[in-house]
Amino acid sequence: MLVGLSIRNVVLIDRLDLTFDSGLSVLTGETGAGKSILLDALGLSLGMRAEAGLVRQGSNQASVTASFEISGEHPVVRFLADQDMTLEEDLLVLRRTVNPEGRSRAYINDQPVSVSLLRSVGDVMVEIEGQFAQHGLLDAATHRSLLDAYGGLESEARQVADHWRHWQDLRRQLEDARQKLEQARRDEDFLRHALDELETLDPQPGEDARLGEQRQFLMNAERLLEALNGAAAELEGDGSSGAERALANAQRQLEKVADKAEGRLDKVLAALERAAAEVADAEAELSSVTADLDLEPKRLEEIETRFFALKDMARKHGCEPDELPALREDFASRLAGIDGGNEKLAELDRQAREAAKHYHDSAAGLMERRMQVAEKLSEAVNRELPPLRLEKARFVCQVTQQPEASWGAQGMERIQFEVATNPGAKPGPLNKIASGGELARFLLALKVVLAEASTVETLIFDEVDSGVGGATANAIGERLARLAVSRQLLVITHSPQVAARGRHHWRVVKEDDDSSVLTRVDRLEDESRREEVARMLSGAEITQEARAAAQRLMRES
């Protein structure tokens, strides 16, 4: 619910702070007093178009702040949460500033936001209906959701949307599988030849690195043999020499006198024994390495042949040698896909056709129920028209099945509110057929019928009583009052019958002095309110008869 509106330096308004209550609030005043400026200012805070002409002459900035009281379950809370914005309190504040060049900035609870986000939030909070409205019920995009809400069809609509998304997902999978199979078939000869080569080569994971190490080792075989033989000669010695013999001789010499050394030679003898064992191990390892080099003289040639075969195959396929095993598996998988591709396509096609049937059946059922609800909605709105002096007009909620190319998550039909203002005339869109005054009354009739279908809590009617009076104006006032039981209504009116029904009443006045022209808004209570209704009845000169008539209107309302 709108609870406050603060306006600074907008056209003829220098400073204005208004507070609002629930129920029906009316704004009255002489033509040209500035009632439309209030709507323009509010629209600015709701994200509507900003223009440099809105900035009051001589000011460097115009600003408008609209404050709303909301509950934790209000749809705007979830909407803002999806935008990573949270509300700390049950208060939503929308603010907009405009400079003299027409550039504007938008804020939600003092956080800078885009104008498009501000407009989206504004659409959730307020609907402006009237002969100059551009959104609300005139927006055909809202008609489907309003019809579903009116008929309680939201659950079925969500189910149709789920069926649509599942069907489209399977269609994409089927098309993707079909394209891959076609591509695989084009590449079949290459795949079979490449797979034969890879299976013949039989590359193994990590083989390239192992072959590289062996190749490097064998390429240095000559130098390695020379070093190995030299080391062995040094260890074995010549004749009576040699490390092992020297260690054994030293050990025997010391063992002869060990019993006389009182244990002092024990560590020396142990060290000599370990050294002898290490020398023996070293000689054995030298013999093994030497045997590797001596026993397979052709091994280097074999390893190089294998090593370069892997390199050539990897270069041919534009990959690393270690990727060849995975490439072989991929080629084999793709060929298997060709062999079993028809079965996979047939299964996906079966699933897609089944999903299409589920969508079609649920969408067709929903369309039928929408047609039934549309008929009830049309009848309900048409019952509201005669008292609003639209007895010759006819409202139609048009539900038209669309070709398959136009089907979607919302269903398989187009839904639009249409009117015919004369008997026998073909119905057309609301804003194309109805005149300004007729349009405002059509919108009022719609709103009365759809009162419970919309989540928007604040409705604004701009001169919905334009061009009518007497019983028609009284009928308009009665419907506005009925609608205000469950919604907050702000009504700009020239009709005393409508003004008399207001729970709250403001008068817009334009003050003109030698230096400037300003718009002022006064809240009226009791006597002042009766005087304003009397003025609306009698004109410039308020008579006692007008006051009595005003009192009677207010009492009857």
Question: Which tokens go with 13?
Answer: 């308004």
User: Is the predicted pLDDT of residue 135 greater than 60, yes or no?
Assistant: no
DSSP 113-133: E-HHHHHHHHHHHEEEEETT-
Average pLDDT over residues 405-421: 92
Alpha helices in 71-220 (DSSP H): 75-82, 115-125, 143-151, 154-186, 188-201, 207-219
**What is the four-CA torsion angle of 257, 259, 264, 270, rounded to 10 degrees?**
80
d(CA 75, CA 153): 18
Give backbone dihedrals phi and psi of 87, rounded to 5 degrees, phi first.
Answer: -100, 125
Most confident of 172-176, 386-390, 467-471: 172-176
Q: What is the pLDDT of residue 436?
A: 65
Give pLDDT tens digits for 260-275.
667 777 777 787 778 7
Range 120-128 average pLDDT: 88
Instruction: Supply the pLDDT for residue 232.
Output: 64
> Taking 80 as the threshold, does the pLDDT of residue 420 lie above it?
yes
**Three-state DSSP state, 352:** helix
User: Using 50, 70 and 90 to split pLDDT, how confident is the model at 292?
Assistant: low
% of the chain with per-residue pLDDT over 90 = 34
Mean pLDDT of 18-22: 90
Distance in Å from the first CA to the final CA of the chain:
24
Which comes out higher in pLDDT, residue 368 or 294? Answer: 368
Of 216 and 504, the structure prediction assigns the larger pLDDT to 504
Top-confidence residue, 34 or 192 = 192
pLDDT of residue 214: 78
| Interhelix angle 221-236/243-257, nearest 10 degrees | 30
Residue 434 has a pLDDT of: 63
Q: What is the pLDDT of residues 354-384, one digit of tens each?
A: 999 999 999 999 999 999 999 999 999 999 8
* pLDDT greater at residue 461 or residue 463: 461
Residue 462's pLDDT band (cuts 50, 70, 90): confident
Tokens of 41: 């200012």
Q: Residue 236: how many CA atoms within 13 Å on its side-chain side?
A: 12
Q: What is the chain's alpha carbon radius of gyration, rounded to the nearest angstrom?
A: 46
pLDDT of residue 73: 82
Task: Please determine, for residue 241, whether its predicted confidence score (pLDDT) is greater than 60.
Answer: no
DSSP state of 390: -
User: Averaging pLDDT over each range in 33-42, 118-127, 161-170, which range is the top one?
Assistant: 161-170
Say if residue 350's pLDDT is above 90.
yes
pLDDT over 70 (residue 424): yes
- A 10 A CB-CB count for 433 gives 19
User: Which residue type occupies 505?
Assistant: H
pLDDT greater than 80 at residue 514: no
Closest by CA to 137, choosing from 145, 147, 129, 126, is 129
What integer pLDDT is reported at residue 290 of this predicted model? 67
CB < 8 Å & 24+ apart, contacts of 297-301: 299/214, 299/218, 300/215, 300/218, 300/219, 300/221
Residue 224 has a pLDDT of 62
For residue 179, give the amino acid letter.
Q
Integer Cα distance of 155 and 164 in angstroms: 14
The pLDDT score that the predictor gives to residue 220 is 65
- C-alpha 224/C-alpha 246 separation (Å) is 26
Report residue 189 as tokens: 């000869």
Least confident stretch, 138-147, 250-259, 357-366 = 250-259
pLDDT at 134 over 60: no
Residue type, 250: A
In degrees, rounded to 5, the angle at the alpha carbon of residue 188 between the alpha carbons of residues 184 and 190 is 115
